[in-house]
Structure 1
Amino acid sequence: MLDSGVRIAYERRGAGQPVVLVGGTGMPPVAWELCGLRDALVDAGCEVVTYAARGVAPSDAPSAPYSMADMAGDLAGLLDVLGIRSAVVIGYSLGSFTAELLVRKRPDLVRSMVLMAGAGPVTGVLEAVLDAEAELIGATGRLPAAFLRLQTLLTTLPGQVLLEDEKQVRAWLELLGAQDDIWASPDGAVGQSTAADGWLRDPGRIAALADVLVPVLVLAFEADLYFPPRAAKVAAEALPQGTFVTLPGAHGGLLTHPAETTAAILGFLTPS
């Protein structure tokens, strides 16, 4: 249990340079194992920490709303509890927001950082999604499971797959059918949505990247509707030590193109 009173479930694997993997919205820690990144980092000589962010089972889901200060505070508290004084922080989507705020609030904890599918200014598509989620929460107090499944499906797979590969679409729908079980309670989905909304609507967010002094890999997927390469490149150029890489795939490229993603991250951590 952290000083905030929130219980965070975590796992440590391997030995060596500490690396913490920070998941996206509703992302269970097992996803890092399924995409192969966790084991690749362990094999490369890293100690890897994965955890379930507040709202995601089996961690606690305090009452919504949440803020990114809450999410980053949980991560800082976890690293303090584990005695990790400096780590590579790899964030995906919402996890990138957490990583960004962590390095701004606790730069002592971050040795270097990867912002994957989660950096750059808000695009029109992303703004429309934020508005839809906020309206649903305001009207019903929750985010319906069917809405979350549709949203994830349409953004995880590239358009060509959605158009032509019905077998893969159906397989993803079946996988996403278990999404309800990911959340510790309905407050988890609402809380993480409100945290992302507040973060993305902050007008000073991009300018603040100039104060991030550690090496940062900004990783974009070429068909990402939320954070396309043109948006991610803005973030990379605002960072004093930013490196920009584009990979194939959509917003879910971490899962649909794991080999390319893992290679890019390992190349950043162990440059030749």
Structure 2
Amino acid sequence: MAEQIAEVGGIELCHETFGDAGGRPLLLVMGLGAPMIWWDEEFCASLAAQGFRVIRFDNRDAGRSSRLRGRANLAQAYLLHSAPYSLADMAADAAGLLDALGIPAAHVAGASMGGMIAQTLAIRHPERVLSLTSIMSSTGGRLVGRPSGRAMSLLLTAPPRSRAEYVEMLVRTFRLIGSPGYPFDEARMRDRAERTFDRGVHPGGTLRQLAAIMADRDRAPRLRKVRTPALVVHGARDPLVHVSGGRATARAIPGADLDVVPGMGHDLPREVWPRIVNGITRIADRAEEVTPRA
């Protein structure tokens, strides 16, 4: 289906769906500064082939969704837990998108910041989440999931000014934070970077999203109350969100499965897609055994 715009809580969210309209709803939530196209079409098609109605969307301040206002102060976010908006606001966006699509509840998978949003959705709106898959994410605890020094420096680098500079920056970034155990597909990354830039890159919005991450408190105590069937996937060699973040997430959620993927960094290499698709399907099946679809 072509991209569409939904009005949600006073903002616009650009979204797209794959698969049968009567399929099991699966909401995909992407990470920091990343538009929905970072959930590759082939990956979405693989999930649709498992019977899901796949929904991907641009978070606020990314891609073709609304660009918000407010200057982010990262020191204030970290020390005072104050930001222009919160992960809870972004989780409310996700719930509002489900409302706009007439979906009472969905399976939810999130990557990186998207995993944090998905966790928050399960905490604050448990009736909306049938199953939870948190990929290369963390609990927000400050002693787990810490980035390497080089990876952290990437988050604080001045934004590129031109399309060409953006493409080179993204290629350099994913050479550093990507999966050392799998081939780096530079052509695919350049294509993704070009399409991302053309859909809209918002450096101020990325900083606001980063402030929301830094301002959030440790979710582990709240995750212990989550009863949603959950899967945690993490790369064993992730330099941006250390694997300790994934392990902490799995420990916090009662009964969660943990899949640590050898050689995987902070990306989703094509070779790992079947493993992740199978994991999402497995945890969705488990959830539906507990609460069958109407």
The TM-score, its normalising length taken from structure 2, stands at: 0.75
d(CA) in 1 for partners of 2:213, 2:137: 10
CA gap of 1:254–1:216, structure 2 versus 1, over 3 A, is farther
In the alignment, structure 1 residue 195 sits paired with structure 2 residue 200? no
Instruction: Report deviation, 1:79.
Output: 0.9
CA gap of 1:224–1:264, structure 2 versus 1, over 3 A, is same
Letter of the structure 1 residue corresponding to residue 220 of structure 2: I
Corresponding position of 1:260: 275
Which ranges in structure 1 are unaligned for 5 or more consecutive residues? 137-141
The answer (yes or no) to whether the contact 2:137–2:145 under 8 Å persists in 1 is no
Corresponding position of 1:101: 120
For residue 22 of structure 1, the aligned residue among 29, 39, 46 is 29
Letter of the structure 1 residue corresponding to residue 57 of structure 2: Y
CA gap of 1:133–1:251, structure 2 versus 1, over 3 A, is closer
Letter of the structure 2 residue corresponding to residue 237 of structure 1: R
Corresponding position of 2:219: 205
The TM-score, its normalising length taken from structure 1, stands at: 0.81
Corresponding position of 1:139: none
Which ranges in structure 2 are unaligned for 5 or more consecutive residues? 1-5, 71-83, 290-294
Corresponding position of 1:116: 135
Letter of the structure 2 residue corresponding to residue 126 of structure 1: P
Match of 1:7, SS state, is strand
Aligned residues: 257
Instruction: Report deviation, 1:130.
Output: 9.0
Corresponding position of 2:176: 154
Instruction: Report deviation, 1:265.
Output: 2.3
Letter of the structure 2 residue corresponding to residue 265 of structure 1: I
Deviation string 1:119-168 (CA, Å, 9 cap, x unpaired) is: 244447527579757866xxxxx64466963444311232x66xxx7xx4
CA gap of 1:253–1:67, structure 2 versus 1, over 3 A, is same
Deviation string 1:29-75 (CA, Å, 9 cap, x unpaired) is: 233234x3311221111211111111222111111444212211111
Higher mean C-alpha deviation, range 252-261 or range 42-51: 252-261
Higher mean C-alpha deviation, range 66-75 or range 179-188: 179-188
Residue identity over aligned pairs, in percent, reads 25
Match of 2:245, SS state, is helix
CA gap of 1:94–1:256, structure 2 versus 1, over 3 A, is farther
Match of 1:76, SS state, is helix
d(CA) in 1 for partners of 2:271, 2:212: 26
The answer (yes or no) to whether the contact 1:155–1:252 under 8 Å persists in 2 is yes
d(CA) in 1 for partners of 2:243, 2:177: 15
Letter of the structure 1 residue corresponding to residue 175 of structure 2: L
Higher mean C-alpha deviation, range 179-188 or range 24-33: 179-188
Corresponding position of 1:126: 147
The answer (yes or no) to whether the contact 1:183–1:189 under 8 Å persists in 2 is no
CA gap of 1:254–1:21, structure 2 versus 1, over 3 A, is farther
In the alignment, structure 1 residue 4 sits paired with structure 2 residue 18? no
RMSD of equivalent CA atoms: 2.9
The answer (yes or no) to whether the contact 1:133–1:143 under 8 Å persists in 2 is no
Match of 2:13, SS state, is coil
CA gap of 1:43–1:196, structure 2 versus 1, over 3 A, is same
Q: How does 1:1-272 map to 2 (within 5 A)?
A: 1-13=6-18, 14=20, 15-34=22-41, 36-64=42-70, 65-120=84-139, 121-122=141-142, 123=144, 125-126=146-147, 128=149, 132=153, 143-144=159-160, 149=170, 150-158=172-180, 168=184, 170-171=186-187, 174-175=190-191, 177-178=193-194, 179-199=196-216, 202=217, 204-248=218-262, 249-255=264-270, 257-270=272-285
d(CA) in 1 for partners of 2:270, 2:30: 12
CA gap of 1:10–1:173, structure 2 versus 1, over 3 A, is closer
Higher mean C-alpha deviation, range 7-16 or range 256-265: 256-265
The answer (yes or no) to whether the contact 2:229–2:283 under 8 Å persists in 1 is no
